Structure 1
Amino acid sequence: MANCAGTIFGEKKMTAEGIERTFTVNYMSNFWLTTNLLDILKEKWRIKNHYGCWQSHFFKNAKLNFDDLQSVEKFNGLTATSNAMFARLFFTFELARRLEETKVTANAFNPGVIKSKLLAGSAWYLKLLGVLYKPFEKDICDVSTWLSTSDEVQNVSGRFFDKDREIVPFHEKFDAAIGKRLWTMCEQISGN
């Protein structure tokens, strides 16, 4: 299973459930889908969970602000998206930790530049940037396919892969307490 839903919105908007939509699409959708399918995933022998994130340099200034996890108080579309993707990394590493005694793996990856509607709801200047990236777009995400099919990473879990398949060592900086706190908060938000 590859969770790659993502978008950038130019303005803050709350869903009917009272969750900011950037956080909903970029993080909560992944959390909700995975946690609701977890028992089914555990029944399978070689299931791999993959979470598409952004390029690693976007995480340089990202942070998890537990007082404003959804970036509602001071909304900026790009910052809200970066922070939600950063939360996705913590979710992936926490999920991998929780699945250590199973045959299920959980890894994060940078999908690279792929044809998508990621910037459809974003500000005009980001759409312009998207036009500049058009020549580099791919039809498929090679790293997700590789993670799903390669025996080389069959038992690898809790790692971040970039588009060149090299492991980016974010897992070494993972703070389990933050992962647990994020998981608990998101259970409360989702009602799980």
Structure 2
Amino acid sequence: MTQQDNSGKVMVVTGASSGIGKATVEALAQTGATVVMVCRHEGRAQDALQEITAKVPQAKLNVYLADLSELDAVRALAQELKDAYPAIDVLINNAGIIPGLLSNSKEGLELAWVTNHLAPFLLTNLLMNSLLAAPQGRIINLTSEAHRLGQIDFGQLGNPKHYSAITAYSDSKLANILFTYELAKRVEFTNLTVNCVHPGVVATNFGKSSSRFVRALLFMGRFFMRSSQKGAETPVFLATSPEVEKISGKYFKDKKQIKSAMGTYNAHTARRLWELSEEQTGF
């Protein structure tokens, strides 16, 4: 397949300093796009920048630093990006964590919920005008097949007595899909599409801050994991392929649409989650 020429397009990737994010940036840079790397740590960001430019000398990369576990940092990042890029063609919400012991954000909310769901919810909404200003904007939310283990209990959400790392992660991934489907309805009659993707189980340092139990599961499963480059293939496909330019509100795996869990199609749950997310982010 002929590689798309994306010269002149601006594509934003969060969690861009390692793993799937870094592999995604490299692949997008090869298409000629200006790629905005949103990273948490300056040192890791510079290492990734140097590594990618060594492989793709013509790469057009810009780095922005933001800790997406802090909603104020998300707001500041969004303002910087809006000021720099009146039109954004692609937003890939890739950043995420697998939690360990219970930890709360500065806002007093569970950390995985903030990082994995509220941060992309807020960033996407704050960048909406820039995304709509692009000729054909695309939003890609990374989620996981772990969403099938999730069950958002609005009455108990964030209750420390019911916390487990696996539940927190699964619930946040379920929220990613519900958010995607609800947003797709809200932008249906615009030039914007929004889809979500399970990149596969990727052998990265993604779970290094997780509990010992989760780290053990990840370690035992490494032989069945795919590379970061393989994990980046579907996000890059959704960001660049003309095959999907009119497709919105879908769940992808290995470049194909698949059905997500039955509960993700509950419109009432999706609307209720949207309202809660607005309340928690102050959007």
* Fold shared by both chains (TM-score > 0.5): yes
For the residue of structure 2 that corresponds to 1:69, the secondary structure is coil
Q: What whole-Å deviation, never above 9, does each CA across 1:29-76 have from its counterpart, x for those lacking one?
A: 111111111111111111110111112xx2333111111233544100
Aligned match of 1:82: 170
Instruction: Find 1:118's aligned residue among 193, 197, 206.
Output: 206
For structure 2, the residue ranges without an aligned partner over 5 or more in a row are 1-90
Q: What are the residue-to-residue correspondences of 1:54-69 with 2, within 5 Å? A: 54-55=144-145, 58-69=146-157
Q: 1:139 to 1:38 in 2, by over 3 A?
A: same
Establish whether residue 25 from structure 1 lines up as the match of residue 120 from structure 2: no
Instruction: Find 1:177's aligned residue among 259, 268, 273.
Output: 268
Say whether the 8 Å CA contact 1:62–1:86 is kept in structure 2.
yes
Q: Which has the higher contact order (CA 8 A, sep 6+)?
A: 1
Which shows bigger deviation, 65-74 or 182-191? Answer: 65-74
Establish whether residue 43 from structure 1 lines up as the match of residue 130 from structure 2: no
Q: 1:19 to 1:165 in 2, by over 3 A?
A: same
Q: How far off its partner does 1:154 sit?
A: 0.6
Larger radius of gyration: 2
For the residue of structure 1 that corresponds to 2:228, the secondary structure is coil
Q: How far off its partner does 1:114 sit?
A: 3.0
Structure 1 stretches of 4+ moved >6 Å: none
Q: How many residues align?
A: 189
For structure 1, the residue ranges without an aligned partner over 5 or more in a row are none
- CA–CA distance in 2 between the matches of 1:69 and 1:155? 35
- CA–CA distance in 2 between the matches of 1:52 and 1:70? 22
Over the residues paired in the alignment, what is the CA RMSD in angstroms?
Answer: 1.8
Q: TM-score, normalised by structure 1?
A: 0.90
Q: TM-score, normalised by structure 2?
A: 0.63
Establish whether residue 187 from structure 1 lines up as the match of residue 278 from structure 2: yes
For the residue of structure 2 that corresponds to 1:167, the secondary structure is strand
Say whether the 8 Å CA contact 2:147–2:261 is kept in structure 1.
no
